[in-house]
Chain A
Amino acid sequence: MLKIKNLHVSINGKEILQGLNLKVNKGEVHAIMGPNGTGKSTLANIIAGKPGYHVDKGEIIYKGRNLFEMPPEERAQEGVFLGFQYPVEIPGVSMTNFMRTAINEHRKYKGLDPMSAGEFLKLMKEKQQLVEIHSKLTNRSVNEGFSGGEKKKNEIFQMAMLEPELAILDETDSGLDIDALKIVANGVNKLKTKDNATIVITHYQRLLDYIVPDFVHILFDGKIVKSGGKELALILEEKGYEWIKDESPN
């Protein structure tokens, strides 16, 4: 589904990703771990198509297509979803209106008619229950005045609404108390199918108690320096990132 080959990315002339390789298949859950500032968000953003990054080398193939040739909204319509580390507020735009617009854009892309108001409200309700988000949140403006945890839950809610093929969750666990963490993890688990894939970015092992990854990758200095099964997360938890520094070739 997703193939990243020798990816080099810089921002304002500063090299962030330096030869990153990653392969994700349908049905898999990948966890990417690593200390702050190593390029985890950069990787997520570059997949989603955030402007401002420069691709110096390498390629990303998504469902057989060159991802760099697709504008961000098309990537979204093709099933790429990014759960933001810092979701932005959009004052005056209700969540309902926002989601309805998004869903109908997805439908338009697939050649489907817009969803009726009734259908849409039913879907909203169903997904609200799935991710245990209060309907009072979805009646408010997008992320406006939401607490950190509410914003994160709201990302999962949107993911549930849009049913992506490739979901990238950028530190969706940070800032969550244990109950919220369980809710978020639960949502992700429920949304998992054999046809979609999830990349969970985190720097705590904590989340991985609830979302069990098939693969764990350790990102360090712009490269994946180690990959393994879920046990890798445990080793990392025990030995800390210092261990990686010692292990890493440079």
Chain B
Amino acid sequence: MKEEEQNNILNEVTQSDYKFGFVTDIDMEMAPKGLNEDIIRFISKKKNEPDFMLEYRLRAYRKWLTMQEPDWAHLNIPPIDYQDIIYYAAPKKKKELSSLDEVDPELLDTFNKLGISLEEQKLLSGVAVDAVFDSVSVKTTFSETLEKYGIIFCSFSEAVQNHPDLVKKYVGSVVPYGDNYFAALNSAVFSDGSFCYIPKGVRCPVELSTYFRINTAGTGQFERTLIVADEGSYVSYLEGCTAPQRDENQLHAAVVEIVALKDAEVKYSTVQNWYPGDKNGKGGIFNFVTKRGMCKGSHSKISWTQVETGSAVTWKYPGCILLGDNSIGEFYSVAVTNNHQQADTGSKMIHLGKNTKSTIISKGISSGFSNNSYRGLVKISKRAENSRNYSQCDSLLLGDKCGAHTFPYINTANRSSIVEHEATTSKISEDQLFYCQQRGIDTENAIGLIVNGYAKEVLKQLPMEFAVEAQKLLSISLEGSVG
């Protein structure tokens, strides 16, 4: 991260509220509200899915019916009426699109406002983008370059059509549909998402990037992402999200599965900026996400980096199952909560293979009336000899009406393994603020500066262009948090 950019960002910060709260007016094709087997058949049919996919959905749905919403997180959630949600919404296609010029200009405009463009500039900057708008993946750029390497990067729906064997083999292999309530719901109704396959020995030459946006009122977004890194391959994958400002709560229940085979490495970075609700806690996204990676082969590595500034409620524990011997799992997180936001997030590291290593660095920042909890599980099985985990959970409090909580669960079944856990809670000191002010930096900017410094360990894990955005978000989401 260049200093100059850091400064630009801080300079750019103004007294704005949620910056991405615009609504795009596009003809939508929607399913009727509610959830039943017919809706699931409708979705599957719309997507022209093979039988195995429909069956998978139905099995998941039937399982979901038998399950209870979890209530163990440190969250206060109003009841969700699952029959009051639209489970499928797609921009009405006028015809098949063959070039970017044909994409709905309103849609392009939306992406431009989001600061991502599907256009040439982005291509030149070396980012392949798959944009998921409500439930349908709009356009994947860069496909041809990727094809040359045999890399598959497309929407999940396309993968179901064009690569059904891969999908069939890996979908649900890391997050089974019965894993938890929201994973089951997602498995039943998932709309779209991204699919990515890196063949043996290939180092993906660009960052693969997906952008999600919830637009239509009353829709839920249930994206499904599957990343498979074959032996000895490498990929860095980025995901960003925003949603317009609405008074009602919108539901987002995604599933992300990553599989890393022998010697493969996957770096997954996300900046989550869903609409957090207004200052009084009205509206905002409910973000219930299951993200998990499986280090299946030996010496494989999966690393999660997340910057969470949005959503009214976040419930999310990206984790790794370290199955292969000598595999490595990493989790770097910055979670900011302001106003009435609630976040319950952390990581799960399940050590199954020998000599497996995991690192968890979590930085929580709470402000306003918000609640920010770290919940983590480190489990070392009997077989996982000589394994190690290092966890560091820091909380930073701005003001005295917010809360920070840490719930580390540690479970070690062998003696040769070492688990270390460190936790700190701190406040931005008056002295630090005054020091900045005395140099001419106002409180708002000073907080941005100090918070970015606090989160640096995590931010530096992000690819360059994401880091810039993440820093902006940190500053913006803490606006008005003092004084």
Binding site for B on A (CB under 8 A): 48-52, 71-73, 76-77, 81-82, 84, 87-88, 90-94, 96-102, 104-106, 108-109, 114, 117, 120, 141-142, 158, 162
Which residues of the other chain, A, contact B11 by a CB distance below 8 angstroms?
A: 104, 108, 114
A141: B residues at CB distance < 8 A: 453
Taking CB atoms, residues of chain B closer than 8 Å to A49 are: 437-438
In the complex, B434 has a CB within 8 A of chain A: yes
Q: How far does the Cβ of B124 sit from chain A's closest Cβ, in whole Å?
A: 22
Contacts of A48 in B (CB 8 A): 434, 438
Size band of the interface chain B makes with A: 20 to 34
A88 touches B437 (CB 8 A): no
In the assembled complex, the CB of A123 is this many whole angstroms from the nearest CB of chain B, namely 13
Residues in chain B near residue A158, CB distance under 8 A:
439
- Chain B residues, CB < 8 A from A91: 453-454
Using known A-B contacts A90-B453, A92-B452, determine if residue A104 contacts B435 with beta carbons closer than 8 Å. no
Binds A, one of B1-9, B70-78, B169-177: B1-9
**B7 pairs with A71, CB closer than 8 A:** no
- Contact check: which of B3, B431, B440, B457 meets A97 at CB < 8 Å? B3
Q: Are B457 and A101 in contact (CB under 8 A)?
A: no
Q: List 24 A-B contacts (CB under 8 A).
A: A51-B434, A52-B430, A72-B434, A73-B437, A73-B442, A73-B443, A76-B437, A87-B435, A88-B431, A88-B432, A92-B455, A93-B452, A93-B453, A97-B7, A100-B3, A100-B4, A104-B7, A105-B439, A105-B440, A105-B445, A106-B440, A117-B3, A158-B439, A162-B440
Q: Which residues of B contact A117 (CB under 8 A)?
A: 2-4
Tally A-B pairs: CB < 8 A. Answer: 96
B441-A102 in contact (CB<8A): yes
| Neighbour of A76 across the interface among B7, B440, B455, CB < 8 A | B440
Chain A residues near B454 (CB, 8 Å)?
A: 91-92
B208 within 8 A of A: no
**CB–CB B456/A77 < 8 A:** no
Q: Is the CB of B440 within 8 A of A77?
A: yes
Question: Which chain B residues border A98 with CB–CB below 8 Å?
Answer: 436, 439, 449
Q: A90-B432, A92-B454, A93-B452 are in contact. Are A73 and B6 (CB under 8 A)?
A: no
A76 to B101: give the CA distance in the assembly, Å: 52
B450 beta carbon closer than 8 Å to chain A? yes
Q: Which B residue sits closest to A97, measured CB to CB?
A: B3
**Interface of chain B residues 428 through 483 with chain A (CB within 8 A):** 429-432, 434-443, 445, 449-450, 452-457
